[in-house]
């Protein structure tokens, strides 16, 4: 018996200089609130706001984590 393979939804490419739009990413029942929370968490590690996370951003944030 073979399984049907479906392609994963691809995230839309953000436009340069455009504000983040969670509606564009809210697919397959994922609420916009979860998208916004994930984006906020991502932004903590995207230290240069370049749209990607590199080892420097992760390293910097891990070294500066302190218990509340």
Q: What is the structure's pLDDT at 31?
A: 94
**Confidence band for 59, pLDDT divided at 50, 70 and 90:** confident
CA distance 68 to 65: 9
Classify residue 28 as left (phi > 0), alpha (psi -120 to 50) or beta.
left
pTM exceeds cut of 0.85: no
Q: How confident is the model over 14-50, as pLDDT tens digits?
A: 666 678 899 988 888 899 999 999 999 888 888 778 8
Q: What is the structure's pLDDT at 36?
A: 94
């Amino acid at each position: 018996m073979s399984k049907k393979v479906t392609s994963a939804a691809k995230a839309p490419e953000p436009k340069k200089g455009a504000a983040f739009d969670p509606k564009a990413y809210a697919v397959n029942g994922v609420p916009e609130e979860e998208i916004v929370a994930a984006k906020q968490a991502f932004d903590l590690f995207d230290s240069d706001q370049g749209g990607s996370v590199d080892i420097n951003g992760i390293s910097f944030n891990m070294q500066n984590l302190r218990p509340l």
